[in-house]
Amino acid sequence: MPAAPVERLRVGVLASQGDFAAHLDLLAGLGAEAVAARVPAELAGLDALVIPGGESTTISKAIERDGLEEPIRAHFDAGRPILGTCAGMIVCDRDHLGLVDAVARRNAFGRQLQSFEADLELEPEAGIGPDPIRAAFIRAPWIEEHGGAVEVLARWEGRPVAIRQGNVLLCSFHPEIAGEQRLHALLMAMATAARRRGAEAVSG
């Protein structure tokens, strides 16, 4: 059987507010078709979605104002992956969109003067290799509490700062401003797997 033509992954970045441009550049560099998404139509038909850093109150209000919750939920329900960084972690938590069984604590590491960057080791289960990630924590949240289905991929001073539940990957820090590509590559690998599952479901 001839191999099916490989289509580029279409990865959306929620562009209501925040550093979405940095994510778009990074994803384009990894070969994805990177799309800024501000309205429901732009959230349809994505292989993966990034909810970027920014101000979580501003982004949450934009999601409500612009009717974005339903298309984000449809993306999630279809088993397509989501990466949330910093504000994106908060937006996905139990108190907001409820896509993971965890609660993020806003500004948990403090104000801007307490912002920091460090080499962060991820658990082997994260599947990104042994080298630490350069992680920039900017007025960053941490995971205050979570259920048993949540996998903790990294901790800083004992606090969960990277988690995964199913197809949702969340981190407190900003891989995108430190030029760190591996989490985005992981997101794209999850998207490829989701696409394969979708194709099997159709053909099977």
Binding site for other proteins (CB under 8 A): 15-22, 38-39, 53-55, 57-58, 61-62, 65-66, 86-87, 106-107, 111-118, 136, 138-139, 174, 177-178
Specify the pairing of strand 133-137 against strand 142-146.
unpaired
Q: Is 92 a catalytic residue?
A: no
Q: Is 171 a catalytic residue?
A: no
Q: Is 176 a catalytic residue?
A: yes
Residue 29 Cβ, how far from other proteins at the closest point, in Å? 15
Q: Ramachandran region of residue 26, left (φ > 0), alpha (ψ -120 to 50) or beta?
A: alpha
Q: Could you say which of 92, 146, 176, 180 is catalytic?
A: 176
10: CB partners within 8 A, 6+ apart: 32, 33, 35, 45, 46, 47
Q: Could you say which of 23, 75, 146, 174 is catalytic?
A: 174
Q: Could you say which of 86, 92, 146, 180 is catalytic?
A: 86
Kindly tell me which of 78 and 118 has the beta carbon lying closer to other proteins: 118
Specify the pairing of strand 48-51 against strand 133-137.
unpaired
92: CB partners within 8 A, 6+ apart: 51, 82, 84, 98, 99, 100, 168, 170
Kindly tell me which of 37 and 150 has the beta carbon lying closer to other proteins: 37
Please identify every residue annotated as catalytic.
86, 174, 176
